[in-house]
Amino acid sequence: MSKAEILGQIRRGLGRTGATETARNAVSARLEAKQANLIPARAQLPEKACQQLFIEMASEAAADVIELKNIKLLPKAIATWLAEQDIHELVSAEDGPLSDICKQLPDTLHIRKGVAQAGDLASLTTAFLGIAETGTLMLYSRPDSPTTLNFLPDNHLVVLNRQDIVGVYEEAWAKVRGLNQGKMPRTVNMITGPSRSADIEQKLQMGAHGPRRLAIFLIG
Amino acid sequence: MNTYKNQPVVGLFITCLADLYRPEVGFATIQLLEDAGCKVEVPSQQTCCGQPAFNTGDFKQSAAIARQTIEAFDGYQYVVAPSGSCISMLHHYPELFDEKDPWKKRAEDLKARAFEITSFLVDVLQHSLSPSTFNSSITYHDSCSGLRELGIKDQPRQLLTQVEGVEIKEMQESETCCGFGGTFCVKYPDISNRMVGNKTHNIVDAGATTLLGGDLGCLLNMAGKLQREGHDVDVRHVVEVLAGMTDQPALGETKSTVKAG
Amino acid sequence: MNITSPDFKENARIALKDVGLQKALGNVKTGFPHKRATAMERLPEFDQLRDEARDLKNHIIEHLDLYLEAFEAKVLENGGHVHWCRTSEEAQKTILKICQEKNAKTVTKGKSMVTEEINLNEYLEANGVTPVETDLGEYILQLRGEHPSHIIAPAIHLNLEDVSETFHSHHHKPKSMDPAVLMQEAREELRNKFVAADVGITGANFLVAETGSSIIVTNEGNGDLTQILPKTHIVVTSIEKVVPTLEDMTLFLRLLARSATGQEFTVYNTLSTGPRQEGDQDGPEDYHVVLVDNGRSEMIASELREMLRCIRCAACMNHCPVYGAVGGHSYGWVYPGPMGSVLTPQMIGIEKGALLPNASTFCGKCESVCPVRIPLPKLMRYWRRNEFEKHLTPKTSRWGLGIWGFFAKRPALYRQLSKLSNATLRALSRKQARISKLPLARGWTEHRDMPAPSGKTFMQLWADKQQGQNKPQSEHYS
Ligand code: SF4
């Protein structure tokens, strides 16, 4: 059996026949402890500074960051943003405030719920977290927030609460483990700016296969 | 360091290329060491550091040569060479012997005593140069082994700033390999040629009169290319300038273009 | 794929004369190293992270069997499947079988060097399954019938004109020289293929034992579309990619993008954990992980073990002056540059890969930039030693080395030999101080002059001096 042969070859290389007690303990201890390695100082900051860093890093990664005092301003901001791009349709996730928000969008906008299709121009989702370290959004799959929304449409509009900004990835993993009694969602997406490629002559172009534009509506 | 009581005794590792091509490099090194208060001897049982064998994968031969070198330099407080590459090779000696082999310890011991000349002057002796003048703009090539295995980067520059008249004009990519690589340059001549061509381009661009470096292999390679391309840049080993011994023509030249003051 | 590693020298010679290639390679040299340096400067802890990454990888390899078992258990628990494959052939068959079970006509593919290694595309195609590469660079290459020349920028050997030409002949659209327009064409062409594919195949940058997840890192988002749209997702990856926890994965992610493209973070870092969960409206219904060994487990017993730390960032080739001169295809197989010169002989055999570990000046630049501190020159030297012991080193080299060694071990004779060479070189220079043609060193004098010795040997002059004869300095060209 290939599995046995591969594992056997590994063990021979390591100079042991089975797994020693010490080896087993070392492995289960490490898996159990989930200990952080060195965390750079950059994003270990007070809350306000962290939020500022997130905005800077996300903008550097070419995301559009739109700061809004409160969620009441969101429908108008979304409508304006879409109008500016001359987009009249939106496919939306259904979690949190989104259904409510969608109701407040102008009637001229054609709104659909659920999964994205090829050819969709814009999608609306929430973000689970923002990670200040690199201006990264964290999203995860669930019934009311299908993952296709994050990748198929040309424009991705994301709602993020200011208090959901954490400093570093490690804080995000702790929160991911808090979802569904520790069961990982099928997918966790970390998104830092819109899609891009430099595969043609090393010249960076935005919008390779994923969204060409990423708009983050930062609430609070 | 200039007291004679505790005068450091240094064994000069001359290196094949200095021996064969440019004895002045050996004499300049000796002068620098003596100026710094060292007593210098040249053990006669030394030959090559063994790098050609080591890098061809002939570890048996390398070990034999290593043993010979270790013995030749037994008893010297320091072993100094005008080459980062050869000293790096001496630093590799411990890899040639098994844990249990008594030579391993002797190799470790040699490694601890072996230094490239500019690093020895700056890092070990913390020596300031005797006054000298070299009225020329120079650019410096950081040879790979010295740079990456021994951390030689600032030492030669620090010493050069003590020589009156020297103006340093750094070239682009001074840390990129010149394409010499020992036998590489004859095994892969076309690739080596491209690499040294890139190098001479950067050297000429820097606009300096003289190219300096700490390894003759690289210097011969770059000098040969500069000359073939018809560029008027003098090439010298850095110790020649540091010791004020620049009367002799530069590498591959028949007359000296820059006069020492 | 056709292995041309034994022709490395000839490949290199042609590459050096290829004007287009040389122009393209110019972009590697100026782009990646500069961006990496900037990213490093912005993260003061970078070198410390490298130390930790090296140590962590060492820990993982020392417990590789256990982490792989832990990973497998988690994947199964999440409802996925794990397939262990010793060889390329096993991996090919396993993947084909999954495709056939799903009646797959087309599979979309995210960028994966392991699938290149196991020659998956040709195999699938030969068996009636059409693979569609979706990474822009890989897509361009697939249209051109070429293989990647770089592990993260596969089409780096091409120029805009080449892509423009290729797209024009395949897309039947007006020819454009605007990279944005060309990318748009590819986007449109591939959109339908993403949706129509029956199976999506991606690689994995890491496998997380704690959660049974695989992670892919892409800038384009093609990997994501590849894995969420088809009904079946197959992750084809290799055994050394496993890491213990999400925190451990994070350590490597902090190094990966910065070392590779110099980005702070890659645009999409996506963790996949098993198939679609209850209530999910999208995502694959099946999740398979194909674990490929292909000679890796054998590396543990030798010095090559250190190579298993590699996270495929490509920093070593981006900074390699040899790669920069000859490009990736010269290396003649999947993995180019310094990391390839270590891995390729292991995977295709040292007989075929013999020239690769020799094609290095040992300048050490690769080791100095490697995020997991792999001593690449030392590992290339390991192969040279192996070649020497197996008598694969060319005869001329062996003889030359033998004769030289004979003298080097006899100091008195060595002195005589140096004296003789010195006198000969000086005679040949005919007082010109340099030699432009030297029969035994044509490799040298074809391209450059050979400076002549400036006087007698040092050892002669030193002996003279010791005997009280004076003025060694003034004896130029005597
Ligand atoms: S050897 Fe090091 S530098 Fe090269 S690809 Fe692997 S990890 Fe990156």
Task: Give, using CA atoms, the residue closest to atom 6 of ligand 1.
Answer: C310
pLDDT for the residue B4: 54
pLDDT for the residue B256: 60
Q: Report the relative pairing of strands B164-168 and B133-141 from DSSP bridges.
A: parallel
pLDDT tens per residue, range A28-42: 999 999 999 999 999
Are the Cβ atoms of C250 and A170 closer than 8 angstroms? Answer: yes
pLDDT for the residue B2: 44
Percentage of chain C lying above the pLDDT 70 cut: 98
What is the SS3 assignment for C198? coil
pLDDT tens per residue, range B182-240: 889 989 999 999 999 999 999 999 999 999 999 999 999 999 999 999 999 999 999 99
Q: Residue A146 and residue A148: Cα distance in Å, rounded?
A: 6
Best interface-test mutation with B: which of C17, C362, C406, C430 has the largest number of B CBs within 10 A?
Answer: C362
Q: Residue A134 and residue C264: Cα distance in Å, rounded?
A: 6
pLDDT tens per residue, range B25-59: 999 999 999 999 999 999 999 999 999 999 999 99
pLDDT for the residue B260: 44
Q: Residue B21 and residue C454: Cα distance in Å, rounded?
A: 6
Structure tokens at A118: 């090829």
What is the C321 CA–ligand 1 centroid distance (Å)? 15
pLDDT for the residue C320: 97
Rounded to two decimals, the pTM is 0.95
* Residue in C64, C187, C280 closest to A209 by CB: C187
> What is the H or E stretch that residue C459 is in?
helix C458-466
Under CATH, domain C43-298 is a member of which superfamily? NagB/RpiA/CoA transferase-like (3.40.50.10420)
pLDDT tens per residue, range B100-130: 999 999 999 999 999 999 999 999 999 999 9
Whether C84 contacts C291, CB under 8 Å: yes
pLDDT for the residue C477: 36
Q: Report the relative pairing of strands C434-435 and C450-451 from DSSP bridges.
A: antiparallel
Any idea how long chain B is?
261
pLDDT tens per residue, range C191-243: 989 999 999 999 999 999 999 999 999 999 999 999 999 999 999 999 999 99
Whether B78 contacts B39, CB under 8 Å: no
pLDDT confidence bin for C478, thresholds 50/70/90: very low
C27: pLDDT strictly greater than 90: no
Are the Cβ atoms of C179 and A203 closer than 8 angstroms? Answer: yes
Range scoring the smallest mean pLDDT among A116-125, B64-73, C403-412:
C403-412
What angle in degrees, to the nearest 10, is found between the helix axes of C19-42 and C8-17? 90
Q: What DSSP line would sit under B7-20, residue for residue? A: PPEEEE---HHHHH
Provide CATH 3.40.50.10420 ranges for chain C. Answer: 43-298
Structure tokens at C160: 């805009």
pLDDT for the residue C476: 40
What is the C369 CA–ligand 1 centroid distance (Å)? 8
**φ/ψ (deg, to 5) at C16:** -65, -25
* Residue in B23, B45, B198 closest to C461 by CB: B23
Task: Provide residues with CB under 6 Å of ligand 1.
Answer: C 310-316, 339, 370-372, 374
pLDDT for the residue C65: 97
pLDDT for the residue B258: 52
Are the Cβ atoms of C183 and A205 closer than 8 angstroms? Answer: yes
Give residue for tokens 């000679």.
Answer: C295
Residues of A in contact with C247 (CB under 8 A): 34-37, 170, 173
Rounded to the nearest angstrom, the gap between the alpha carbon of residue C255 and the centroid of all alpha carbons in its chain is 17
pLDDT tens per residue, range C100-115: 999 999 999 999 999 9
Mean pLDDT for the stretch of residues A144-148: 96
The domains of chain B are located at 9-123, 132-257
Mean pLDDT of chain C: 94
pLDDT confidence bin for C455, thresholds 50/70/90: confident
pLDDT tens per residue, range C386-405: 999 999 988 888 888 889 89
pLDDT tens per residue, range C138-153: 999 999 999 999 999 9
The CATH number of B9-123 is 3.40.50
Same topology between domain B9-123 and domain B132-257: yes
Please report the domains of chain A, with CATH numbers, ordered by start residue.
1-34 (no CATH), 40-219 (3.40.50.10420)
Whether B225 contacts B219, CB under 8 Å: no
Which residues, in sequence order, are CB contacts of A76 under 8 Å at separation 6+? none
What is the SS3 assignment for C332? coil
pLDDT for the residue A1: 80
Mean pLDDT of chain A: 95
Give residue for tokens 């010195």.
Answer: C422
User: At the topology level of CATH, where does B132-257 sit?
Assistant: Rossmann fold (3.40.50)
